[in-house]
Structure 1
Amino acid sequence: MLVDTRWSAWGEEIEVQVTEAAALSAAVGRVGRMLDEVEAACSLQRGDAEIHAVNLAQGLPVRVSVRLAGLLRSALWVARMTDGSVSPVAIEEPPTGVPSIHPEPTFADVQIDDDTVLAPWGVSFDISDTAKADTADRAAELVASELECGVLVRIGGAIATAGHCPAGGWQVTVPGDGGIELPAGASMSSVSAGRVFHGREALSGEWDQVSVVAGDALWAYAASSAAIVRGLGAVPWLEQHDLAARLVDNSGRVYTTRSWSHPHAA
């Protein structure tokens, strides 16, 4: 029997569905604890978050927890996979009259060696969105493994599934398009143009909403966010990566990639 619950955390709506009613309470506890730990590691809205030590280091190496190191690696992986379209790095603008840094550092200049992070001077990180998608993946895998049930975890627009799925697959909502079916192990992310990406508005003037189905929520988030940023070049880029995607432009017209087949978008 499929059961679910929802609550709010870290500025997002959280949803957990499990295929075994007896597992719901334990699943919620595990997801909630993981969210708390990740938020404490990297939320810029928390004054005690560990990420602040990294952002204040400014060219000096800083040791971090295993969790934060992993989250930073995931964010840098997203940057590499999207050719920098979705980057965790923000560059501090120099004061008026002061020449900018030449060359300007990028995500490729960040080094992580075990638990030590070294970023160039002027670089700061915002990894909240990638961390949420990454946490959806990890939380779903943890619940499925430890509680031996099928599970869906949604954190905002990022959805991850693990374990066996209910009859008929996981039914999820695509903004503006009703429901689709996700098979076992599939993930989806929906991103709107109004979302702020690491200190800048990702407004290309083309897409209002992008939904992507992929093998994990982190890649789905990366691809949907990159599509918003890439504008007209998004569709061939998504096709190149053989991703199932639905894009809505600013006039409400809908475009889909070859891999998107409603209602089974995977």
Structure 2
Amino acid sequence: MGGKTTWKIWGLSAAMTVETAHLLKPAKAIVDSVLAEVELASSRFRPDSEVMQLARTGANNTSISPTLALLIDGALKAARDSDGDVDPLLGGELANLGYDRDFARLPAITAKGVSIIQGPLRPILWPLIQLNGTKLTLPAGTALDLGATAKAMAADLAAARVAEELDTAALVSLGGDIATAGNAKEPWQVLVRDTDADPWQQVSLHSGFAMATSSTRKRRWSHRGLAMHHILDPAFGLPAHRVHSSITVAESTCLQANTYTTAGIVRGAKALQWLESMNLPARLVGLDGTVQGTSRWPAPARKPGSVSENG
């Protein structure tokens, strides 16, 4: 029987399960090491992180750590795969919207204001990022935000390192970003739900696959009397228009899954058709709780006398 542990990190709920129970403690140490490396490289809330140092000095053929180079390479892949809907240069915009500190310290929403969803078009500059090995050049005046992709990559890296170093199947979950590695004897059972009040579904996740959920409901705060959420539309640098409360996608890596969930939130009403066209298993929950799925998403299990929650 496997071993499981849960904890809090980056203001998120984290969990890890290993198939070999007695390896839980060394596995947790490996995960902690990976997360510490990722945080030191990419946090926007640590003044000593590499991302914050670059925000102060800029980057012009600047040497960076292999960890940050790997994270930026993943963020650029996400930008390409989403046609720019996942933009790694939104650090300045997030800070201007008040998201300039750890989420737990942000002001709670106290008014019924709605997020600004339109404004002047911002220049799309991420294609100008130059990454050559560990040498980085950023467009002048820009700031990195690797929050979404770095978290997903951290889950991928942590699960893979546990499986490789300890020879056990592992699942790592970081705030809805779930990665697996190793050869599990049975599929992992995953509960898909954004908040306790939302419709839920249990699905089987086969070893070597990943799942991510992007939400417009959890990371919200108040800024100048308006309700904000953390997924920005890169076209405007403002919170994406809320059509879905959450989108979940299963893919071969957590980075890929998170790319499509984030881009789906940005695409709003076009998300379902787009995810279907990509032949992705995806589950979309509307603001009213209505659940839709692509053709590859598993139908909810039926119990005698029950009604499918997807309706």
Could you state the TM-score of these two structures normalised by the residue count of structure 2? 0.77
CA distance in 2, matches of 1:230, 1:178: 24
Query: Is the contact made by 2:89 and 2:144 (CA closer than 8 Å) also made in structure 1?
Result: yes
**Correspondence 1:205 to 2:239:** no
**Correspondence 1:83 to 2:83:** yes
2:255: which partner in 1? 218
The offset of 1:60, in angstroms, is: 2.9
2:308: which partner in 1? none
Equivalent AA in structure 1 for residue 176 of structure 2 = G
The offset of 1:91, in angstroms, is: 7.5
Equivalent AA in structure 2 for residue 14 of structure 1 = A
The offset of 1:203, in angstroms, is: 3.2
CA distance in 1, matches of 2:89, 2:137: 13
CA distance in 1, matches of 2:39, 2:232: 16
**Correspondence 1:180 to 2:214:** no
The offset of 1:187, in angstroms, is: 0.7
Once the two structures are superposed, the pairs formed by residues 2-151 of structure 1 within 5 Å of their partners are: 2-58=2-58, 60-90=60-90, 104-151=123-170
Deviates more, 1:35-44 or 1:56-65: 56-65
1:189: which partner in 2? 212
Change (3 A) 1:35 1:59: closer
CA distance in 2, matches of 1:256, 1:90: 29
CA distance in 2, matches of 1:85, 1:61: 26
Q: Deviations over 1:55-94 (max 9, x none)?
A: 233363321001101101111111111111111112758x
CA distance in 2, matches of 1:62, 1:164: 40
Query: Is the contact made by 2:47 and 2:53 (CA closer than 8 Å) also made in structure 1?
Result: no
Change (3 A) 1:198 1:62: farther
**Correspondence 1:159 to 2:159:** no
The offset of 1:201, in angstroms, is: 5.3
Q: Deviations over 1:152-197 (max 9, x none)?
A: 0001110001112243x10111013132111111111111124403
Equivalent AA in structure 2 for residue 240 of structure 1 = S
The offset of 1:127, in angstroms, is: 0.3
The offset of 1:253, in angstroms, is: 1.3
CA distance in 2, matches of 1:142, 1:44: 25
Equivalent AA in structure 2 for residue 197 of structure 1 = I
Among the aligned pairs, what percent are the same residue?
Answer: 35
CA distance in 1, matches of 2:47, 2:182: 36
Uncovered stretches (5+) of structure 1, i.e. residues with no partner = 94-101
The offset of 1:198, in angstroms, is: 5.9
- Size of the aligned set, in residue pairs, is 255
Equivalent AA in structure 2 for residue 192 of structure 1 = S
The offset of 1:26, in angstroms, is: 0.8
Query: Is the contact made by 2:44 and 2:145 (CA closer than 8 Å) also made in structure 1?
Result: yes
CA distance in 2, matches of 1:146, 1:154: 19
The offset of 1:262, in angstroms, is: 3.2
Deviates more, 1:243-252 or 1:175-184: 175-184
Q: Deviations over 1:132-165 (max 9, x none)?
A: 1001011111111111111000011100011122
Query: Is the contact made by 1:158 and 1:190 (CA closer than 8 Å) also made in structure 2?
Result: yes
Could you state the TM-score of these two structures normalised by the residue count of structure 1? 0.90
